[in-house]
Structures are given as structure tokens and as C-alpha cells.
């Protein structure tokens, strides 16, 4: 939520910042702005409501030449999207500028205090108080002033601060919002994530909560808030700048759908050993896992749907109670948690505030916390005793696709490995699972090859008034995810429902304008699902089914069918969702939507 980037070094800072903002735009696109200290020592600020392209247009021939600067792309929280509320924000003197991701929860009280002290605050944002607090604390050392100001803030922040009179220096700080330092050759960066800077350096420091980074062209010093120097390791980013480019596809979402076979292969790399699933990330907690008597999964959105597959398998294979709860609700009715509870936090970004808060609560109560994330160095990894990475590569489109299928594959592997370690997964079942997992990437590729026919079907359904998605058992998470994709990118109403619940209310929504999308792949609940499908058909709804190749019955019942290869039931969620992703994509394209940056959304949700 909000992307921030800062640069100091020999390059021309303006183009570096604009390039970084374009790559961070998936984090928010309500407004964009940059601030630079120019070669003449002046502070230059340009900021506009709207996307980075609006800012670039406003800059006309480009920003003035500068060696240092900061930039921001916003997902609005406090204050509507406008030029005035766009970041960066400045102090009264106009010498200090700040960009911020997060929420300063006590900003009203700070604002009143600053106004009473003679400051003039111009915007409606919470962020602006930071510039004025730094102004009050400034005595010639920007890092010291930032550290002093931080002591006044409550809430969450990733901040970058610049002072016109210290023109080679930026100071960054983080608390419950992501910020990394990029360590270049004679140049330094600060950014919300590596995508913004990986074209310039792959060497990064993942800042921890409470860290303050003081960067200059040839140095990066990390301290705590008292100023004590900390020894933070430099990590190497494992993917290239090209991985975060569209690579010839019309949209990132389409590219990421096509990357799914490769992402599945990557997610399994090193984890299928002979006939068994082995996640060595669990080795350090193996002793504690031996005593677990319940499993709680926590996640939001798409990650929550993936976690439903995991909860079902933990319960089936381990024989202990297992469930998944939306992270934002978990805290209001926390289950009994103790040292025998395994809590699994599923989050692509690793920065989702609700998921982090729930994981922290679980950790505080003594649970074993395992993070399942795509983001090395992310906040969730610090709340966890073990981290299992999706290895899916960067996902740029706001609508998750390849991270959903790799989340499902990884929770399946996680459940299998824990069950094997506890002696509850028969070797035969493990072998069968490994074989099915190995077939998945080519089966996913075969499904994606049918994109053209899915596009054609989408053309016939794109003008629907809404959609009803149903599924049972492992088809249910696929139905939920398929409906979410439609909602997110085409702005059409879509319900994802447990098929058996259809008759308990939502069936009244069905008519010729509201198609029924049924996940009807081969399973133990197939016949019951077919009954639900028939209930829809009897209400004149067009029926679009996702079915297993070779199913001769479904062709007679459904109006249109998306075919997927056969696989084990727990893995069917992965193959069933692929045509639904493509369907949602083509419906959105046909309706002229902004597929990669749908309205009101941001990819990484760092506010609660
Ligand atoms: C998925 O398309 C959405 N962008 C959203 O539901 C997302 O999955 C959710 O915000 C959780 O994000 P996370 O996996 O990064 O925690």
C-alpha cells in the first residue's frame, strides 16, 4: 500500500525515481510525486493525483537534473486523492520533504500540537505531521532529527526523508511497513520493495521494524531509534529486472497466468525427493511439530482461499482439528492457542497487516508459527519460526494468479510433509501425491493452451449482469477465487458460494442474465455438484462448467465447458482455477477495464 523510492548517487535521480515508481505502481495509484534537490541546490517538487503517467506528463521535458531525490505512489488512506494530498509532503521552511507508507494513528493530536506551535499544515494527510516534527527536531543532522520525530509517532510507517541542505543524504525508517536499502556501487537506494531498484542493484538490506537507515552515495548505515549502529546483512535478489517486465504480453496478469507452469515447477524445486515431499525449512522446528494437536491457518483474500485447501488436508492427513480463518477476524475470536498449535500464515507479499497482526498474536500465545510467503525478507518472516517460500518470482498484477496456484501447491506440500514427519501419511499416498505434483506443470500448460477458446466464451458472457460461482470440497476455493477475480478486475458482481448453500438463498439471484459458473471437476462430490448445477439450469441460468477431460455427462448439461486434465482432488483446485483466471481476464478486457491496476485496490495491503 503506497510505494516509495529514494536515490542518492551519480545517476540523474529523476529518471531513476520515475522508473522505480512505475514498477511500484501496483502498490497504489491514487497519486504520484517526486522531490529532488537539484544541481543548483533547490528543492524541486512535482506531485499529481492519478497515475505515474499523469506525473510524467506534468513533468513535460522531464525533471531537473539532480543527484538525490525521493518518490511516492499512493493508495489513499487519510485525505482523498488530490494534488495537495499527494506525497511528498514538506515542512514550513520547504527544506524537508517526506514520503510515507502506513498510517500515523495519532496524527490528529500531533497536528493540533504543531498548529498550536505555529506550524502551517496544508494537506489532509496524516503524513504531513512527520515533515513538521522533523523540522522541529532538526539541528543540522537529518538522521538525528528523524530518530527524534519517530519517537512521537504511533502507527505504522515506512518513511524516507530528505533535507535540502544535506543534498547527498536520505534517511529511511520502518515500523510495520516494508522498506529496503539498495546497496549499489557508489550509489544507494531506499524502496518499498526490490522491484523498484533491481535494475540498478541486486544487493539489498531488508530493514527490520525499528530500523533507521542513513544512506549516502557510498554508504548505508543502519541504526536503531536510539542511534546505536546495527549490523544488518546484505542479501542478493534472486530474480532479474526482466522478471518484472510485461515481456510482450498485453498485461502483467496475462503474463503471470502464462508463467504458472514455470512457477509451479519452481515452487516444487528441491521439495520432491524420490517418492516423498520434503520441506527442509521445517527441519529446525521438527521436534516441536511432533507435538501439535491443532492447526490454524490465517490469511486474507486469495491467500485465504488457498489456505482452505491446506486446512482440509491437515485435518484429513493429520487427524487433528484444522481450520482457516480470515486474518482480520482471527483476533476478535482467537481460538485456544498454545505451544501445541501450529499456525500457518499464508501471504504472498508477506506484508499484509491483518495477517501479520494475527501471526503476532499467535506467536505471543506460544504457537509454532510458519510463514508461507513469496517474499524473502518480508515482515511475516520475522513473526515466524520457519518460512516456506513460494519461489514463484515477482507478481506485479494486482490480481493474484501464479501466487494462488503456488500457494495451493505449497500448502499441499506443507500438509504432506508435516503428516509424513508425524508418521501419519502412508508412503503410498506420499508417492501418489509426488507423481501428481510432478505432472501439474505440464497439465497447467495444457490448460493455458486453451486460452483462445476461453476468450471466445468470455465474449459471450462479458455482458452478464453478474455471476454465481459454485463449488464443493476442493472445488469451493476455486469457485471463491474465480469469483474474486471477476470482482477485482471487471467490477461486476460475482458470488463465490459453497454449492450446497445455493438453495439456501442465493439461487434467487439466478436468471438468464446471471450465469452459473460451476466447478465440476472429477471428485467424490461430483454427483452432488451436478445436482446443484441442475438447480441453476432449471432457473434458466446459462451454465458454464469447469470439468475434467473425458466427462461425457457434463457436455449435455452445461451451456459451455472449460476442460482441465484429471489430477488428485486436492490439486484439482489449481487446474480448475486456471480457466477461471483466463475467463475473468478476457471479460475485463472486453469491458475495457484496467486489468493490472483495478480501481480502489492495491496489491500489498499494509493497513488493517
Ligand atoms: C488477490 O487477487 C488480491 N489482490 C488480494 O485478495 C490478496 O490476495 C490479499 O490482499 C492478500 O495478500 P497477501 O497474499 O499479500 O497477504
CA geometry: angle 412, 418, 420, nearest 5 deg: 100
Ligand 1 atom with the shortest distance to the CA of 399: 2
Give pLDDT, residue 334: 85
278 is catalytic: no
- Alpha carbons 405 and 485: distance in angstroms, whole number: 13
Q: In this structure, are residues 307 and 297 in contact, taking their beta carbons and an 8 Å threshold?
A: yes
Pocket perturbation via mutation, ligand 1, pick of 195, 302, 577, 588 by most ligand atoms within 8 A of CB: 302
- Mean pLDDT in residue range 502-528: 93
Ligand 1 atom with the shortest distance to the CA of 301: 6
Q: Going by CA atoms, what residue is nearest to atom 10 of ligand 1?
A: 301
Residue 138 DSSP SS3: coil
Residue count of the chain: 608
- Alpha carbons 140 and 558: distance in angstroms, whole number: 73
Pairing state between β 466-471 and 516-520? parallel
Please indicate whether residue 604 or residue 21 has the higher confidence score (pLDDT): 21
User: How sure is the predictor about 389, in pLDDT bands with cuts at 50, 70 and 90?
Assistant: very high
Identify the CA nearest to 125 among candidates 151, 99, 95. 99
Question: Residue written as cell 515506512?
Answer: 158
Share of the chain above pLDDT 90, in %: 83
Q: Which helix (H) or strand (E) holds 358?
A: helix 353-364
Q: Going by CA atoms, what residue is nearest to atom 2 of ligand 1?
A: 399
608 has a pLDDT exceeding 90: no
CA geometry: angle 538, 501, 470, nearest 5 deg: 70
Using the mean position of ligand 1's atoms as its centre, give its distance from the Cα of residue 399 in Å.
Answer: 8
pLDDT in tens, 159-185: 999 999 999 999 999 998 889 999 999
For residue 88, say if its preceding peptide bond is cis, omega within 30 degrees of 0.
yes
Using the mean position of ligand 1's atoms as its centre, give its distance from the Cα of residue 231 in Å.
Answer: 32
Q: How does DSSP assign 181-240, residue by residue? A: EEE-SS-EEEESSGGGTTTT--EEEEPPTT-EEEEETTEEEEE-TT--B---PPEE--S-
CA geometry: angle 593, 595, 596, nearest 5 deg: 145
User: How sure is the predictor about 377, in pLDDT bands with cuts at 50, 70 and 90?
Assistant: confident
- Alpha carbons 46 and 54: distance in angstroms, whole number: 11
Using the mean position of ligand 1's atoms as its centre, give its distance from the Cα of residue 291 in Å.
Answer: 31
Q: Which of 2, 51, 278, 487 is catalytic?
A: 2
Give pLDDT, residue 158: 94
Using the mean position of ligand 1's atoms as its centre, give its distance from the Cα of residue 186 in Å.
Answer: 36
How far the first Cα of the chain sits from its last, in Å, is 11
Report all structural domains of the chain as residue ranges with CATH numbers, in order of start.
3-234 (3.60.20.10), 252-448 (3.40.50.10490), 451-590 (3.40.50.10490)
Using the mean position of ligand 1's atoms as its centre, give its distance from the Cα of residue 82 in Å.
Answer: 26
2 is catalytic: yes
Give pLDDT, residue 606: 72
Q: In this structure, are residues 254 and 448 in contact, taking their beta carbons and an 8 Å threshold?
A: no
Mean pLDDT of the chain: 94
Identify the CA nearest to 27 among candidates 42, 12, 47, 5. 5
28 has a pLDDT exceeding 90: no
pLDDT in tens, 289-325: 999 999 999 999 999 999 999 999 999 999 999 999 9
- Alpha carbons 325 and 240: distance in angstroms, whole number: 35
- As for ligand 1, residues whose beta carbon falls within 6 Å of it are 300-303, 347-349, 352, 355, 398-400, 488, 603-605
Amino acid at each position: 500500500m503506497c510505494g516509495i523510492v529514494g536515490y542518492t548517487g551519480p545517476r540523474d535521480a529523476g529518471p531513476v525515481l520515475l522508473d522505480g515508481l512505475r514498477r511500484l505502481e501496483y502498490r497504489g495509484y491514487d497519486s504520484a510525486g517526486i522531490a529532488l534537490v537539484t544541481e543548483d541546490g533547490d528543492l524541486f517538487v512535482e506531485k499529481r493525483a492519478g497515475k505515474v503517467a499523469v506525473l510524467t506528463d506534468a513533468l513535460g521535458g522531464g525533471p531537473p537534473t539532480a543527484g538525490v531525490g525521493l518518490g511516492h505512489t499512493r493508495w489513499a488512506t487519510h485525505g482523498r486523492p488530490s494534488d495537495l494530498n499527494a506525497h511528498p509532503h514538506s515542512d514550513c521552511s520547504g527544506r524537508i520533504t517526506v514520503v510515507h507508507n502506513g498510517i500515523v494513528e495519532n496524527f490528529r493530536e500531533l497536528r493540533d500540537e504543531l498548529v498550536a506551535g505555529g506550524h502551517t499544515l496544508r494537506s489532509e494527510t496524516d503524513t504531513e505531521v512527520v515533515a513538521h516534527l522533523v523540522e522541529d527536531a532538526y539541528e543540522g543532522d537529518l538522521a538525528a532529527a528523524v530518530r527524534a520525530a519517530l519517537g512521537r509517532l504511533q502507527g505504522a510507517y515506512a518513511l524516507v526523508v530528505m533535507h535540502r541542505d544535506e543534498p547527498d543524504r536520505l534517511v529511511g525508517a520502518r515500523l510495520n511497513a516494508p522498506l529496503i536499502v539498495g546497496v549499489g556501487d557508489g550509489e544507494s537506494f531506499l524502496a518499498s520493495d526490490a522491484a523498484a531498484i533491481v535494475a540498478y542493484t541486486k544487493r539489498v538490506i531488508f530493514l527490520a521494524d525499528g530500523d533507521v537507515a542513513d544512506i549516502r552515495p557510498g554508504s548505508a548505515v543502519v541504526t536503531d531509534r536510539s542511534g546505536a549502529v546495527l549490523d544488518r546483512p546484505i542479501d542478493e535478489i534472486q530474480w532479474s529486472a526482466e522478471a518484472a517486465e510485461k515481456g510482450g504480453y498485453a498485461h502483467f496478469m496475462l503474463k503471470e497466468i502464462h508463467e504458472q507452469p514455470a512457477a509451479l515447477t519452481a515452487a516444487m524445486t528441491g521439495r520432491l525427493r524420490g517418492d516423498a515431499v520434503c520441506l527442509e525449512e521445517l527441519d529446525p522446528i521438527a521436534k516441536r511439530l511432533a507435538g501439535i494437536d491443532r492447526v490454524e491457518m490465517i490469511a486474507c483474500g486469495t491467500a485465504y482461499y488457498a489456505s482452505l485447501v491446506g486446512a482440509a488436508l491437515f485435518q484429513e492427513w493429520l487427524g487433528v482439528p484444522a481450520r482457516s480463518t480470515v486474518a482480520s477476524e482471527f483476533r476478535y475470536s482467537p481460538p485456544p492457542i498454545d505451544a501445541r498449535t501450529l499456525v500457518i500464515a499464508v501471504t504472498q507479499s508477506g506484508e499484509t497487516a491483518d495477517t501479520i497482526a494475527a501471526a503476532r498474536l499467535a506467536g505471543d500465545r506460544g504457537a509454532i508459527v510458519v510463514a508461507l510467503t513469496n517474499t524473502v525478507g518480508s515482515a511475516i518472516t520475522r513473526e515466524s519460526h520457519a518460512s516456506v517460500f513460494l519461489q514463484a518470482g515477482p507478481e506485479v498484477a494486482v490480481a493474484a494468479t501464479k501466487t494462488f496456484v503456488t500457494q495451493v501447491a505449497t500448502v499441499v506440500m506443507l500438509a504432506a510433509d508435516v503428516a509424513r514427519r508425524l508418521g501419519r501419511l502412508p508412503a503410498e499416498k506420499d508417492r501418489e501425491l509426488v507423481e501428481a505434483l510432478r505432472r501439474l506443470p505440464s497439465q497447467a500448460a495444457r490448460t493455458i493452451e486453451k486460452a483462445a477458446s476461453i476468450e471466445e466464451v468470455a465474449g459471450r458472457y462479458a455482458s452478464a449482469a453478474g455471476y454465481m460461482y459454485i463449488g464443493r470440497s476442493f472445488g469451493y476455493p476455486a469457485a471463491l477465487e474465480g469469483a474474486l477475480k471477476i470482482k477485482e478486475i471487471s467490477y461486476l458482481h460475482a458470488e463465490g458460494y459453497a454449492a450446497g448453500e445455493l438453495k439456501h438463498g442465493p439461487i434467487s439471484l439466478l436468471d438468464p442474465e446471471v450465469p452459473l459458473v460451476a466447478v465440476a471437476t472429477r471428485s467424490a462430490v461430483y454427483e452432488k455438484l451436478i445436482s446443484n448445477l441442475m438447480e441453476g439450469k432449471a432457473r434458466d441460468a446459462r451454465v458454464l462448467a469447469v470439468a475434467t477431460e473425458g466427462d461425457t455427462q457434463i457436455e449435455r448439461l452445461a451451456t459451455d465447458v472449460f476442460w482441465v486434465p484429471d489430477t488428485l482432488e486436492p490439486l484439482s483446485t489449481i487446474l480448475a482455477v486456471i480457466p477461471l483466471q483466463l475467463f475473468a481476464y478476457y471479460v475485463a478486457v472486453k469491458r475495457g477495464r484496467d486489468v493490472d491496476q483495478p480501481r480502489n485496490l492495491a496489491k500489498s495491503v499494509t493497513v488493517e
